[in-house]
């Protein structure tokens, strides 16, 4: 089917990014506890808090850059090669979900 790869690429980007806010709300993130036994409980709590904070910064930066990028795509009128679909709306959706994730993480860190 002509254009199927374009549909999948744009659709999967939006679909996968839509799962991030739910993970942030449930405080589900990857943790590697290889060195956990070397630290005390208090230090481990600080390390987890620092990790959550840096993950929040990552999501904020990604949301910002995806928003800027989608604006550039929109201004230039970039479309997919085969179906000629505008790419900007899909990237705006990804940016929206990244922003939602940062918002959820902010609430999780604050509580």
pLDDT score recorded for residue 45: 85
**pLDDT(32) > 90:** no
Q: Which of 4-8, 17-21, 39-43, 65-69 has the lowest mean pLDDT?
A: 39-43
Can you give the pTM of this predicted structure?
0.86
Residue 84, by phi and psi: left (phi above 0), alpha (psi -120 to 50) or beta? left
State the Cα torsion 41-45-48-54 to the nearest 10°: -140
Locus of tokens 């902010």: 106
Q: Which of 50-54, 72-76, 78-82 has the lowest mean pLDDT?
A: 50-54
**What percent of the chain is helix, strand and coil (3-state, nearest 5)?**
75, 0, 25
pLDDT score recorded for residue 21: 93
Enumerate the β-bridge partners of residue 79.
Answer: 86
């Amino acid at each position: 089917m002509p254009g199927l790869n374009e549909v999948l690429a744009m659709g999967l980007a939006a679909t996968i990014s839509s799962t991030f806010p739910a993970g942030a709300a449930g405080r589900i993130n990857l943790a590697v506890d290889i060195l956990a036994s070397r630290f005390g409980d208090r230090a481990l709590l600080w390390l987890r808090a620092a990790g959550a904070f840096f993950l929040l910064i990552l999501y904020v930066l990604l949301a910002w850059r995806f928003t800027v990028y989608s604006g550039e795509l929109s201004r230039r009128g970039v479309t997919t090669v085969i179906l000629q679909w505008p790419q900007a709306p899909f990237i705006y959706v990804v940016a929206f979900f990244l922003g939602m994730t940062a918002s959820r993480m902010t609430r999780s860190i604050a509580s």
